[in-house]
Structure formats: structure tokens, C-alpha cells
Amino acid sequence: MKNVLNNSHTKKSLYSPKSNPRWGREEETDIFSQRVKLFRQGKISEDDFRRFRLQHGAYGSRLQQNYSMVRIKIPSGEITPEQLEKIASLAEAFSIGSAHVSTRQNIQLHWVQLEDVSEVMRGLVEVGLTTREACGNTVRNVMCSHFAGVCPDELFDPTPYAMAIARFFLRNPMCQNLPRKFKINFGCCQKHGLMRVADIGLVPSKRDELKGFKIYLGGGLGAASFIGHELEDFTPEDKVLATCMTVIRLFDRHGNRENMARNRMRYLVHEMGWTKFQQLVLKERSIVDMTISFSTAKSFDFKSEKDISRRLPESTRAKIKLPVINERINPDASTYDRWVHTNVVAQRQEGYNVVFVTLGAGDITSSQLRGLAGIIRDLSEEQSARNTPNQNFAIRFVRTEDLSNFYDKLSNIGLANPGALTIASAVGCSGTTSCNLAITNSHRLAKEVQLKLLQLGLDIDDSLSHSTIKISGCPNSCGQHEIATIGFFGGASRISGSMAPTYTMLFGGSAEENGELGKNVMRVPAKRVIDTILKIVEIYREERTGNESLDAWITGIVKGQGNKKIRNLDDIKLALSSVTNLPSITEDPESYRDYGNDVKFTAKTAKGECAA
Amino acid sequence: MCCLISTPSPIISAKKKKSQSVINPNYENRTSKKPKKSNSSNETGKGEQSVQPILSYLIDVDTLRTLIRKKAIRVVDVRRTEEYNQGHIESAVSIPLASVLDAESTEKVITIMQDAGIGDHTPVAVYDDTFGALAARVAWTFQYAGHANTSLLELTFSQWKNHGLETEKKINKFPLTHHSMNVNKDIYADAEYVEKTKGMENNFLLDSRERLNFLTEHIPGATNLPYTMLGTQESILRNTSEIKRFLENRRISSESEVIAYCGSVGTLSGLAYYALKMAGVKNVRLYSKSFKDWKRLGKPVDEFNDANYWDLSAE
């Protein structure tokens, strides 16, 4: 509601603002609105229009072609107060008054009328953002670890490289019509980042004093998921562009354009075999490297992506592992102490912290976005935020003495919930709230899980905090359920003769070094998911040995190495059956309905547009 | 630039206005009846028997302040009486929205205007403290009763105050004046009219409610243009050029007939009425009893139950 004059955007901050990144282009907004008109007049075919629409970041809404989900690319997740405020206004005017942080560092506006998509794009251009190539068979938003630049374990900040790669491939003719979408993720160290579940994943590495990357290829999550393969020991920074170009060229040339269900690059790598693919990459790269023109090489300009106007403090102390604010906390701790414990970590730069803002499955209202923008201006020396794959915001370079002020300001806008860095912060894709492919309301479920775990105070149990819960509404992995300690993906099952919304539960996934994808455990009715999670925690507390954490215990069970009553997945399945079994629909009709529905469950889906 | 059209005296703007100059598309209609000399001795303007300024649909701050200083305008505050009593724009009279909505007949509305000292040609500026919708509903009602010279203040009262502009606590009363009744049926629609014109070429039924309410249920054939698209953080209505573009994207032209409705009493759609008029749409009607009336009459609605969109809201 616009009942007060908002002066925050005119307010001067102590710190100089970031410059406009200029990802967007004004002319594309006019072209988009013209195309919508032509489409409405029947002058463009539905197929051509869909392809065009997706190339420009507008995804069809669930069973309603007149509306779009507009996906705003946030390269590296880096977003400024001006951009947050603009998104607030656009969400209010053209969407539903809330915006949504995605699991790939995009920000999504749902249920935008097709006629207004160009207006959203126009607003975004003003603050340098774009939706171009956020969907469709293109290079999608380039991700980067939200700890990049502040992580104690990183060798150097990969952000400028991530930005330069994003800029190089955006609108690049070589990736306008790939066999399928293409994802590039940067990590900062082996612990932080999703580099092992991307088509190309990169982590900073050094050989002597030479900067470079460790590159992983052919990873990715979906109906069939793979962990990326290591290309070589070390790729020097002057070979990064050639390597990425080579991989995209090979995918473009050899990728499957027939079978939409199996045309991501990971299938190509899988079918060809890693060794053969690896040889192909190395051979092709030597040619690309030799023939790359001077001007092409120059347009991969990571040096100019460095924010040289800003002199942020550098590390002044020895390496300390994140998080460092890990003193034990008891149940009667103040809400502030609890929040510091679960939402704040110290940076490698002494005296500075990363503050995480807890959201429910990535949802944030327009007025909260405006409030957050003001807080960033006042209290972050970096003058920006990073959004994270856990669907929240990380505000960095916050001075320790400002933390309580930060907390108070967050409280004022209803964003001071604890639990951001704990098991309570459940991830949920948009599910049946807006997606054509979804079978279940994973979005609402994630919020319900978070609410319950916070109510029970499970966020302050440090033995649980390294565990994650991630929920997708269908087998495609937008909720990243395969890299969760406890993951769920939605489906429909016939139980005692009636259809019920159910989730397949997975155990033991992780994207960290040596991490594995989650293993299927069993199906759980949607309305039993929360009870099942609580039962798992209960069993774990009885069964653990010493200081064993939940995720370690679960990994042990996946390997069949549990050392008490519960030894393997069959044992846990049996132990959970009392919670997961449903009575008949007449005895308990509620359990046969999904969250947010008061009618009988039916699995309704339409054709997805991921593969246009 | 200013919004005044017929006043000869130049209004000098203190600050550069970013709001557009609004040339009233109905200017001819309004001036076709030559402003007559007031038949009430106590019209605004203290006996200045000069030509009354004809206002556009939106009045900017500078113009309003000038006219207040010249005592050449009646300012109407539609907030609740208690709020009015705590402070209001200088010279404003209190006409709470509820009193206008409660008026069963146009005669009653005429009485309300007369009681506030509004004569046939008195320029009137209306404001509220929400985002213009309540003011718009009152202003539309005045226009419906035949008082064409009614304008919306571009700001809400809070914005006015935040700008440090003059307020007062005095309870203003003006002598009773005469207002003739001249019902403008052309800006009104009821359910019957909505049904009669449905599907006619270049006829649009515009739903001003927020997107989630619209998705849940709406009158079949309606187009959604949420009221949230109309204003900005700084003004109750956007630039005309932007509103025009929004309409054009929906294939609504100045020649279209548009019927606006919202949830229950026509406030959100009242604001849409003004936005559309400002953008040059000649034929705009307000279905003032709106969706509540439609449902009460048992008319058909379009529902959309195939998605859980309410669960996306972070409210």
C-alpha cells in the first residue's frame, strides 16, 4: 500500500553506491511489447512467440497462458538497494505485491499479465537489470557463491570472473539456440557454491602464484542428476574463456535436439563417456584458444568487473573457519542472541559480518524490499546484497557494532526471524503456486516446515544446523532436493484406492566436496512430511553416537553403517511407517488434500517450458 | 505548466513539476456550458464575479495552493471526521466518504455539496489519505450529480504533510449555496449495463482489484488493471504517458468504452476512472456497486482454482 512518501531512495548513504551494471537494454522492452501485440493479433505462431518470450525471461504461468512468471537475472546474486526498490515497485504494480528469490539467484515476479511484461522489463532497464536469457535454451543466470570475497578459505574472489562470463555470453550469438538450457556456477572454495551440479562449475585455484580455476563439467540436477567431472588439475585464468566457449560449442554441436527429456549436457557427457568428452574438450580448446580473436578475448573483461571505486577492508587476521559465531545457545536466550547465532557469520575481514535475512521459501513483500534497501544503505559498506540459493539474502560488510541496530531495523519490517543458516530454513520451489509442471504445493510446504521447526526451536540445536531440507513440487529439481540432507520431490500416489499428494523423500545429498546426491528412501504423504521430519529428528536423538550431527548420522544410514537399531534405509523406512501410513480417505479426508486446497486432490499439470 | 486552463492569471510554479500537464480531454464539454455568474452571493472567490477556473482531473500542489490563497477553490477532505479534526489542508471542508456512500439519492449528494458551499461552478479539489481511491470515489459522485469541475489532488494528506505544506485544525464551514441537479448518466454503469454491452466491439470491462483477487474470481470477460498500476510512491496517479501505454498494451484506445469496477463500493475503480479520463479515454463508466453487487445478483463469475497462487504472498 502506498500510503507514505518514501524518501529512502533519495537518502544519501555514508558509502558510495555501486555503479549501474547495465545488463538490460531499453530497445528490447519495445520489441517485446510489439511482439505481444502481434501474437494477440494472430500474426505470430504460438511456438514462435513462446520461444521469443522465454528468450526474454517470461515463463508461462500454471494453466494460464495469459500470465507470466518474469525471471530477473541477478548475476552472482549481487543486487543493489536501487534494484531492490525498483523490484518492489514492479512487484506491487504488475505482480502480486511480493517477489521471490529463486534457488539459482534469480528474483521472480509471478502472475504478471503478458501485456505488462514489457513494463516490468522497462523498469528493470532503469536499474541495469535484465530478464534476457533467464529462460529458454540459453546460458542462464551465472551463479557465484554468496561468500565470494569474504570467505576465509577462498584463494581469491571469483565474482569478477563470474560477472565477465555472464557479460560475455549474454546476447552472444553462439548461445542463442542451444539444444537446451546451460548453467554456469562459480564457487569460492570447495565448501561454498553449487559448482558440482552445473554444466560448467568453477572454483578458484592457484598454481604457484598463477590464478586459475578448477573446472567441473557435466553436472546438474533434474529428473536424472549427475555430479560434475573434474576437467583437469588446474585451468589458468587465461584459458577460462576458451574452456567455456569450447564446452558450449561442443554442446551446441553434439547435444541431443530430439529428446527434450534427455538433452541437457550432462546426458551428452554420460552417453559419450567422460573420458571421450574430456579429450574432445581439450582438443577443441586448443583450436578455440588459437583462433580466438583479439577483440573476442578482450570482451571477456574480468578486470573491469572489479569494483575498483570501492576499497573494502581486506583481511587483517589469520584464517578462521566460518561460521565463527557458534557459541552454544540455550532455549531461554533472547530473540536477538538466537538470531545472531543462526543468522550471522563473521567474515575473514576482521570486525565485519555477513547477515542472513530469513525468508519463507524466498518470499518477500514490496514494503519489506524497500525496508531492506534502506538497511543496506545504512549498514553495509558493500552497498549491496547477495541473494542465495537457499532463497534468502546475505548482507555483507556489516560492522559487528551495528548488528543489534541491524536486528532492530529488520524487526521493524518483519524480517528478523532466526534460523537462516539452519535446518529450519527449508527451500521450496514455486510448485503449484505458479508452475505448469508441479504436482504438489512444495512452496507452501517449505513455509510450513520452516514455521514448525522455528516454533519448536530446532534452529538452536547445533547438531541439526548443518542439515538442510529442500522440497521440489515435481521430479525436476528446481527445489534442489537431491543436494539436501533430507530432500523431497512431489508426486501423486494412490493410497487405499484414493489419489493423494505425496513426496518421495531422499537422504544424504550434499553439493560439497565429496558430497553425493540424495538416495531415495520412501514416499511420504504431503500432510505427513512435517511429522516425518520430526520423527527423523527424534530417532536421530536416540540413536546418535557422541557429537554426531544429523547429516553425519543420515550419511551413515545411507551407507548402511548405522551403528544402533537403525542401520540402513530399510530400518528407517520401517521406523517411519507409523507416521507415513494413512488411514482411508473417509476416516481422514484432510490427509488426501494438498496444502492450500480444500478440494479433492488431482494431479493436474501442463507442458513445461523449460525445453522450448 | 499547470493544470489550469481557463484562468487568465499565470500560476507560477515554485518548483519544477515532474507531473505532466494535463489537458482535460473533456474540456469542450465542460466549457460548453459557459461558466455563469454565481447565483449565490457566497461563492468561493469572495464575490469576485470572475470566470471560475476549470480544473483538470488531477490538480497539482502549486495550483491548489495558489487557488487556496485566492480563495478560489473548495477543498474537500474525505477522511473520517476524527482525522479531519486533527488537522487538514487549509480551508478544507470535511465530507467523509461514508456520508457520500450512504447518500441514497442524488438529491442527497446535492444537499451535501450545497452544505459545503459548493455551487454549480465552484472548482473542487478532493483528497484522502489512502492512495487517492477514496477521494476519487467522492469526486466521481460529485461529477455524477452534475458537478463536472471536480479534481483530485495529486498527493495524499500524509504526503502533503511530509512535504511540510500548510495544514490547519480549524473546522471550516461555508454558507449554504445552491447547486442544480444535472445527473450525468454517461459515467455510470450497473449490472444490467455491463451485461448489455458485454462482447461489444471496443468495449472493455476493467477490474481494478489486485491480481490475486482477480485470479480468484471476476466478472467473465473482464480485463485486470490493478489499482496498484495507477500510482507511484510520489503521486496518486502516474504520468499520463505511462497510463496510456498500459492501456495501449491492453488494446484500449481513447475511442474505447471502458466500464471500471472493483470489490464493493467503487473506490479502487474510482481511481481507475480518473486515470483513464486523464489518459484521454472519452467514454468511461463506473460500475459503482461493483463485484459485490454482481455476486449478490447471482450473476456468473470466472474462477481460477488450478493454482495455489495465494501461497506466494509473503503478507
The complex scores an ipTM of 0.92
pLDDT confidence tier of residue B30, bands split at 50, 70 and 90:
very low
- Domain ranges for chain A, please list them: 11-126, 143-304, 335-412, 427-592
Give the domain A427-592 fold. Answer: Sulfite Reductase Hemoprotein; domain 1 (3.30.413)
The reply to whether B179 and B68 lie within a common domain is yes
Cβ atoms of residues B123 and B151 within 8 Å: yes
Query: What is d(CA A402, CA A311) in angstroms, rounded to the nearest whole number?
Result: 20
Strands (E) across chain B are located at 58-59, 74-77, 88-89, 93-94, 124-127, 150-153, 167-168, 203-207, 217-218, 223-224, 257-261, 283-286, 302-303
CB–CB of B131 and A40 under 8 A?
no
The reply to whether B282 and B175 lie within a common domain is no
In a domain, B13, yes or no: no
pLDDT confidence tier of residue B122, bands split at 50, 70 and 90:
very high
Q: Does B221 touch chain A (CB under 8 A)?
A: no
In a domain, B15, yes or no: no
Query: What is d(CA A61, CA A432) in angstroms, rounded to the nearest whole number?
Result: 10
Give the domain A11-126 fold. Answer: Sulfite Reductase Hemoprotein; domain 2 (3.90.480)
Q: Which of B164, B184, B204 represents a domain boundary (last residue)?
A: B184
Residues of chain B contacting A443 with CB distance shorter than 8 Å: 308, 311-312
CB–CB of A433 and B234 under 8 A?
no
Give the residue-averaged pLDDT of B48-68: 86
pLDDT at site B55 = 92
B37 pLDDT exceeds 50?
A: no
Nearest to B7 by CA among B58, B46, B76, B56: B56
pLDDT confidence tier of residue A310, bands split at 50, 70 and 90:
low
The reply to whether B254 and B304 lie within a common domain is yes
- How do beta strands A519-525 and B88-89 pair? unpaired
> Which of B83, B306, B309 has the highest number of chain A CBs within 10 A, making it the mutation to test binding with A?
B309
Query: Domain span at residue B120?
Result: 27-31+41-184
Query: Mind giving me the DSSP string for A325-343?
Result: ------TTS-HHHHHHHHH
> Which of A26, A100, A108, A115 has the highest number of chain B CBs within 10 A, making it the mutation to test binding with B?
A115
Instruction: Please tell me whether the overall predicted TM-score, pTM, comes out greater than 0.80 for this model.
Output: yes
The reply to whether B90 and B204 lie within a common domain is no
A325 pLDDT exceeds 90?
A: no
CB–CB of B158 and A5 under 8 A?
yes
Q: How many residues does chain B have?
A: 315
CB–CB of B315 and A599 under 8 A?
no
The string of pLDDT tens digits covering residues B88-106 is: 999 999 999 999 999 889 9
Give the gap in angstroms from C-alpha B282 to the nearest C-alpha of chain A. 22
Q: Which of B145, B169, B184 represents a domain boundary (last residue)?
A: B184
The reply to whether B198 and B160 lie within a common domain is no
pLDDT confidence tier of residue B306, bands split at 50, 70 and 90:
very high
Nearest CB neighbour to A113, from listed B224, B232, B305? B224
pLDDT confidence tier of residue B252, bands split at 50, 70 and 90:
very high
Q: Does B129 touch chain A (CB under 8 A)?
A: yes
The string of pLDDT tens digits covering residues A272-309 is: 999 999 999 999 999 999 999 999 999 999 998 886 55
pLDDT confidence tier of residue B45, bands split at 50, 70 and 90:
very low
Match domain A143-304 to its CATH number in 3.90.79.10, 3.50.40.10, 3.40.50.11540, 3.30.413.10: 3.30.413.10
Cell of A6: 518514501
The reply to whether B241 and B302 lie within a common domain is yes
Nearest CA in chain A to B313: A98
Interface of B with A in 153-172 (CB under 8 A): 156, 158-159, 162-163
The string of pLDDT tens digits covering residues A78-126 is: 999 999 999 999 999 999 999 999 999 999 999 999 999 999 999 999 9
In a domain, B140, yes or no: yes
pLDDT at site A312 = 74
If one looks up domain A335-412 in CATH, what number appears? 3.30.70.3340
Nearest CB neighbour to B307, from listed A37, A62, A359? A62
Give the residue-averaged pLDDT of B174-192: 96
Fold: same for A143-304 and A335-412? no
What average pLDDT is seen over chain A? 93
pLDDT at site B53 = 87
The string of pLDDT tens digits covering residues A433-492 is: 999 999 999 999 999 999 999 999 999 999 999 999 999 999 999 999 999 999 999 999
Cell of A312: 573494502
The reply to whether B179 and B126 lie within a common domain is yes
The string of pLDDT tens digits covering residues A520-568 is: 999 999 999 999 999 999 999 999 999 999 999 999 999 999 989 999 9
In a domain, B4, yes or no: no
Q: Does B69 touch chain A (CB under 8 A)?
A: no
B28 pLDDT exceeds 60?
A: no
Over its C-alpha atoms, chain A yields an Rg (Å, rounded) of: 24
- How do beta strands A344-346 and A107-113 pair? unpaired
pLDDT at site B14 = 37
A320 pLDDT exceeds 90?
A: no
pLDDT at site A223 = 84
The reply to whether B192 and B261 lie within a common domain is yes
Number of domains in chain B: 2
Q: Which of B165, B184, B203 represents a domain boundary (last residue)?
A: B184
Interface of B with A in 172-211 (CB under 8 A): 210-211
CB–CB of A595 and B305 under 8 A?
no
Residues of chain A contacting B163 with CB distance shorter than 8 Å: 5
Cα first-last separation, chain B: 41
The reply to whether B170 and B236 lie within a common domain is no
- The domain that holds B69 is classified in CATH as 3.40.250.10
From A9-18, A553-562, A574-583, the region with the lowest mean pLDDT: A9-18
pLDDT at site A327 = 55
Nearest CB neighbour to B229, from listed A36, A93, A111? A93
| Burial of A259 per CB tally in 10 Å (0-12, 13-18, 19+) | exposed
- Between A261 and B139, name the one with better pLDDT: B139
Give the gap in angstroms from C-alpha A465 to the nearest C-alpha of chain B. 24
The reply to whether B164 and B255 lie within a common domain is no
The string of pLDDT tens digits covering residues A387-440 is: 999 999 999 999 999 999 999 999 999 999 999 999 999 999 999 999 999 999
Nearest CB neighbour to A97, from listed B131, B210, B246? B210
pLDDT at site A18 = 86
pLDDT at site A313 = 75
